[in-house]
Structure 1
Amino acid sequence: MCLGIPGRVVEIPDGYHDQVALVEVSGECRKVNIGLLENDPARPGDWVIIHMGFVVEKTDEAGARAALAGLRLLGRGEQP
């Protein structure tokens, strides 16, 4: 299992050969690699899970909220 950070795709800038997207994570935009999603490409508005700068899967808003809640629990040292 890996720890993934949820984010929402804001933009896929031109010139990156569809490998990089701007993703909003906790109010900040970050460039992440979306190349692992070649069978189901990310589009603006999609929720994704990021691990070490790579989008590893798409999710929905509920999945993103659950992932963020889990990360918050880990940060407090609590057990779910």
Structure 2
Amino acid sequence: MCLAIPGKVISIGTENALRIGRVQFAGVVQPVSLDFVPEVVVGDYVMVHVGFAISRVDAEEAEQTYRALEQMGMLEGELPPGEEAEDAEGYHEVRG
């Protein structure tokens, strides 16, 4: 099943000429390609599928989508496994 998960962009940088954002998903921070959504800025919410942000959404839509996915039990197994480490901002980052 194809599933996009909402997350909040907390920082943006470049890596190998690609636009990469650190996106927070319920406390877990993952690197995400922002190349398909060039208009996105820090603080925006995006829908992410397999490591790529595919659309920008507002905070309300992100929250509604996340809650619906959570209620349906669709979030388990969607974030990559790995060791969790808390960064300086208090977020948890998965390091695989």
Q: TM-score, normalised by structure 2?
A: 0.67
The 4+ residue runs of structure 1 with deviation greater than 6 A are: none
2:19 is the alignment partner of 1:22: no
Change (3 A) 1:20 1:14: closer
- For the aligned residue pairs, the C-alpha RMSD in angstroms reads 2.0
Task: Check whether the contact 2:10–2:23 (CA below 8 A) recurs between aligned residues.
Answer: yes
Q: After the TM superposition, which residues 56-75 of structure 1 pair with which residues of structure 2 at under 5 Å, given as runs?
A: 56-75=54-73
Q: For 1:58-78, what per-residue CA distance to the aligned partner results, in whole angstroms no more than 9, with x for missing partners?
A: 0011000111011112208xx
Aligned pairs, number: 74
Higher helix share: 1
Q: 1:9 is matched with which residue?
A: 9
**Structure 2 stretches lacking a partner, 5+ long:** 75-96
**In structure 2, C-alpha distance between the alignment counterparts of 1:42 and 1:7, rounded to whole Å:** 12
Give the number of the structure whose residues are more often strand, by fraction: 2
| Percent identity between the two aligned chains | 28
Q: What residue ranges of structure 1 are gaps of 5+ in the alignment?
A: none
User: Quick one: higher RCO (CA 8 Å, sep 6+), 1 or 2?
Assistant: 1
Contact between 1:11 and 1:44, CA under 8 Å: does it hold in 2?
yes
Q: Distance in 2 between matches of 1:8 and 1:45?
A: 6
TM superposition shift of 1:21: 0.6
The aligned residue for residue 34 of structure 1 is 34
8 A Cα contact 1:4 1:67, kept in partner = no
